Structure 1
Amino acid sequence: MKRILVTGGAGFIGSAVCRHLVAEGRYHVVNVDKLTYSGNLESLKDIENSPAYTFHHADICDERRMAEILRAERIERIMHLAAESHVDRSIDSPAVFLETNVVGTFRLLNAAHAYWRELDGAARQDFRFHHVSTDEVFGDLPFDEGVFTEESPYAPSSPYSASKAASDHFVRAWHETFGLPVVLSNCSNNYGPYHFPEKLVPLIILNALEGKRLPVYGAGANVRDWLFVDDHARALELVMMKGEVGSSYNIGGRAERTNLAVVETICDRLDARRPLQGGGDRRALIDFVADRPGHDRRYAIDPGRIEQELGWSASESFETGIDKTIDWFIANEWWWRPLREKKYAGDRLGSAS
């Protein structure tokens, strides 16, 4: 079984990756997570007792600790997902994003490079550092034209996307300067089960279930490409195992929607499943609020490279994926209720990135 280190494996995408890799039966997954506000080990209950899964409570900024884990666990490949990712929080507290996303990646690269140099023969040849990033590093697109490709120039608009852009550049530099075998991927907006409740899709689902206001920035015209998280996990496995060293892969769902269309779809699906007490249309709960600073108009991903070179494509349409997501949140109040009551205030605006 190939031994894979996943950083940030208690987060939304990271936990989906851990569950997917363990279920595949060909990997031993070593999860490293600092367990900040959005890290949740409850998302890993299905695999926590698996002999193919190990958890370390550790910070990627602790270079010595990361080096110890790499050696002790005999890691063969790294999938680096640990990051601060909420745009609104990056506007409020950009220093946290600089520390985790830039300094943390730098420290992890140092540890990985030193470890890789110690490997011999086939182990050194087979080692990979897979850096997982976002389409937001490419900045803003017009509403009516253009898509992001792997060759798109970087033009980040928020402290979050700037920190991720910087981390991407550091990863490429460690490949070009030191020879570290890396692959990179940049994804569009993820959604699905176990999504932390401050993000747009789960916030709208849960507020709509409870009959609360549904905050939407501006006129809701901002466009995003939506990717079901389990489809993303499959893509990340392929990039990690088969991606060309030094290359990057854009991963998207081919499912562009305005934020308003996403919210209205959730309203309509929930009205059909769980009508409001006393009747009424959940669309009436939509509350347009002042837009946030630097809000990019549109993101759109061209996933042609990963489709053609690695044979991946999204299994879920937005409609099938959002139905699965809504049904999961309805059925799993045990997971999200403690977050709403203890960790997180449900009236915070949801970020659509």
Structure 2
Amino acid sequence: MLRYLLAFGLLAGSTGGATANDSVAEIGAGGLVLGRSDVVSIESETLYLSMDQVRVDYLFRNNSADDVETIVAFPMPDIAFNPYEGNSIPVEDDNFLGFTVEVDGMPVTPELQQRAVSAGGIDITGLLTGAGVPIAPYDAYEIDMSGVAPADLATMKAAGAVEMAVATDGTTPTGMAYPRWTVESAYHWTMTFPANAEVKVRHTYTPAVGGAAGVFFLMEGAGSALYADYEKRYCIDAPFVNGAKRRLESADADSGPYYTESWLSYVLTTGANWAGPIKRFRLVVDKGSTGNLVSFCGEGVSKTGPTTFEMVKDDFWPERDLDVLFIVANR
């Protein structure tokens, strides 16, 4: 029996969009990855992306005469706590992307492993748990440290894991602290790819979509560094830009709609780690509303519905990750 370590890829951490106060960074996420395999191939992959859900349907094939027993892992994106920039976290608990997985139609319940790493790269998981401090305080801007032993608190400070809060006078300690560590999380379970057989795998999650209160690239204008970055990252073109301008110009200042940006990142290149290319790859991007706009880089993209766009490739080798820009109409 062959053994491999597989990972359901969320291999990107927070990816920077604009960092103004009225923006939230998106968190890159992806699909199934493997530390190289000569026997397990992706026969087909259908990837559905929207601001509300990411859904991936795979058909794998074990092309060998032996069963492949695997420890499968789904690394969640790293979450770095920083009071100066928010993270886009859909659900404020350990499964903050609402991740689910099915194998041949049967739900799988994975186990969770979490670690806390300080800014200096020190594993402080044991230190935090021993001191009664939560590893993943997703819903807390500040943490009450009044019950932590002075020696433990000193160790946390030395590791760069916390920044103590002070009162408005700028000097008086409040007993609260800002977390400064990164949470590394991974779901994992055991799975077998039967010899010379196909396996269907589906996983879904709510994407950690970033956004900004406005249309940044139009504010900066053509020729700006931000505009050039959008051209490279999202492949914005003249029809998309003109459509965005028309929407902004026609919007009523009082009644709207009011247009904002949303960003979605997906780690696509890990699909190249399986045996051979993805034999049949289908991408569906749903902009959510007919009043919205969407732009992303792709070849042979066609409009397949009022809000959906599709790209189909045979023998597909993903050479770049996917970034999607939405211009969203809000009322």
Higher RCO structure (Cα 8 Å, ≥6 apart)? 2
TM-score range relative to shorter protein: under 0.3
Q: Please identify which structure carries the higher helix content.
A: 1
TM-score, normalised with respect to structure 1: 0.24
Q: Please identify which structure carries the higher strand content.
A: 2
Between structure 1 and structure 2, the one with the greater Rg is 2
TM-score, normalised with respect to structure 2: 0.25
